[in-house]
Structure 1
Amino acid sequence: MANPARIAAAQMTSINDVSANFATCSRLVKEAVTAGAKLLCFPENFSYVGAKTGDSLKIAEPLDGPIMNKYCSLARESNIWLSLGGFQEKGSDDAHLSNTHVLIDDAGNIRSTYRKMHMFDVDVPGGAVYKESSFTEAGKELVAVDSPFGCLGLTVCYDLRFPELYQQLRFKHDAQVLLVPAAFTKVTGEAHWEILLRARAIETQCYVIAASQAGKHSEERESYGASLIIDPWGTVIGRLPDRLSTGIIVAEIDFLLIDSVRSKMPISEHRKPIGFWR
């Protein structure tokens, strides 16, 4: 692994137009390559956001379908790794899909996939009612994968509220960088987005890369934005100047900093087994 490793996170406002979203992603890839980034992380639902609940089922495809093939080609032609969070992967029947985080290498190969575990079934205070489980199959397996940017822990959006997932990625799977593609609602984002991300970074001593959807996708849906990159000490090292803008943020993964934080505060050695508290 090169140290430091230059990475980027994208922010965008996806709509119910696969081609338009791909054009936006292509432009952001060019920006990332120009900035010297070797990995670009996209938000949840990067390729499509339906105007109405359930619209995603209409465009859901297998991982070897034409939509993902275009992103594999984009990675290969641009010589960059892509983290594609929240792809609408066709499920086991026509009534379901998987919310799948896909990691593609710079040769255009799918290196790993993670299917979102935690379903967003929430009545947002002052906002809309969401029932993700009504059309989405929950994943069952944690995923951490070695890469030129360290050991990457793959998650998606609502997973962020379940710290035990991130604890497992760090202490059982040796993750160094946690990827959190998201489309947080405006209400929940204002209240909890940054503090949850910084908490995950601090308690795992990992970098956190949080690429987010931003702004109004349709009359029924709006995302909070505020894409962030956070270091293992919990310091925000990358933030777009405008919470709702489309663009990228660039930062460097410093593996020596990870080692330093972990050696000076060796929480991996101090952790007690769950049975200790019983």
Structure 2
Amino acid sequence: MAVTVAAIQMCSGTDPKRNAEAMERLVREAAAKGAHYVQTPEMTGALQRDRAALRAVLKPEAEDGIAATAARMAGELGIHVHVGSTAIARPDGKIANRGFLFGPEGQKLCHYDKIHMFDVDLDNGESWRESAAYTPGEAARLVDLPFGRMGFAICYDVRFPELFKSQAQAGAEIMTLPAAFTRQTGEAHWSVLLRARAIENGMFLIAAAQGGVHEDGRETYGHSMIIDPWGRVLAEAGDAGEEIILAEIDASAVAAARGKIPNLKNGRAFALDLPMDAGKTGAAGKDAAA
């Protein structure tokens, strides 16, 4: 079944209410252009480096304005709305980097908590410790939609191919990767990582990104993308500011790509022989030489 999907690029600020208003405007525009599935970026609700300020605006899932707005729009427009992620207050006092998918009747279909934490030190002096504020997720998620089986990942998850492979082997035909990639890492790795994950798993990949200079001072790379199972870029946004990209996808292309290159079926278990320590002697060495 062919369907038009959209990825929304944003430049979220620090105020969740303003971000919700921007999200609603953009989702409505995407739906008016024919999108039946619309994805927003990672941290749609707020990009805020000040942890105390972030905690001051956090809400639990049941009270979160971004999730409520997305659910309402999905029901009103009769489409699937995927909040790439937003910061959610957990019952234990910690924070989840959580994405939500809502169905055409406004119902919550599933949520996904980002598994891999962005704890890095970059060459330009940027240092990020996502694990200092967020609790990582522990489970991958799959959901069956009318147009295909969908899997979920968020931003830094793209650097862990086993997450994508496990979902592909479980039948995922479409993977989602909302993100807020830094400009430095985006310029170096964004496109090649996305295309690699799509190619090696023979699946569509939809990646809505943050793009531009944000109120909290960070700069994100943009370049939201929709990629097909052969690694072709079907749509790509610019490097900054709001933008909507659309593409038509059809799950039959997944079967075609996997039929041509069935690497998911051809994989084999193998042993890993570690190098021997030439300086060691003893019975094991004597046996090997005998």
TM exceeding 0.5: yes
Partners of 2:13 and 2:19 within 8 A in 1: yes
- What does residue 209 of structure 1 align with? 206
Q: CA deviation digits over 1:76-102, x for unaligned, max 9? A: 1122211111221112433x2010111
RMSD of the TM alignment (CA)?
A: 1.5
Asked if 1:249 corresponds to 2:248, the answer is no
* Secondary structure at 1:103 match in 2: strand
Asked if 1:270 corresponds to 2:269, the answer is no
**Cα distance change of structure 1 residues 128 and 72 upon mapping to structure 2, 3 Å threshold:** same
Amino acid at match of 1:248: I
Asked if 1:179 corresponds to 2:176, the answer is yes
Query: Per-residue deviation at 1:60?
Result: 2.2
Structure 2 unaligned blocks of 5 or more: 274-290
Amino acid at match of 2:227: I
The aligned runs of 1:25-174 (5 Å cut-off) are: 25-67=23-65, 68-94=67-93, 96-171=94-169, 173-174=170-171
Distance in 2 (CA, whole Å) between partners of 1:135 and 1:254 is 39
Distance in 2 (CA, whole Å) between partners of 1:66 and 1:161 is 29
Bigger-Rg structure (1/2): 2
Q: Which runs of 4+ in 1 moved over 6 A?
A: none
Partners of 1:51 and 1:217 within 8 A in 2: no
Distance in 1 (CA, whole Å) between partners of 2:130 and 2:49 is 15
Partners of 2:147 and 2:250 within 8 A in 1: no
Query: Per-residue deviation at 1:152?
Result: 0.7
Query: Per-residue deviation at 1:256?
Result: 1.9
Distance in 1 (CA, whole Å) between partners of 2:179 and 2:3 is 23
Distance in 1 (CA, whole Å) between partners of 2:90 and 2:130 is 13
* Secondary structure at 1:64 match in 2: helix
Query: Per-residue deviation at 1:255?
Result: 1.8
Amino acid at match of 2:111: T
**Cα distance change of structure 1 residues 196 and 54 upon mapping to structure 2, 3 Å threshold:** farther
Partners of 1:150 and 1:177 within 8 A in 2: yes
Q: Percent identity?
A: 36
Distance in 2 (CA, whole Å) between partners of 1:224 and 1:88 is 20
Distance in 2 (CA, whole Å) between partners of 1:63 and 1:219 is 24
What is the TM-score of this pair, normalised by structure 1? 0.93
Query: Per-residue deviation at 1:272?
Result: 1.1
**Cα distance change of structure 1 residues 81 and 127 upon mapping to structure 2, 3 Å threshold:** farther
- What does residue 232 of structure 1 align with? 229
Distance in 2 (CA, whole Å) between partners of 1:136 and 1:51 is 12
Amino acid at match of 1:168: S
Structure 1 unaligned blocks of 5 or more: none
What is the TM-score of this pair, normalised by structure 2? 0.90
* Secondary structure at 1:55 match in 2: helix
Total equivalences in the alignment:
272
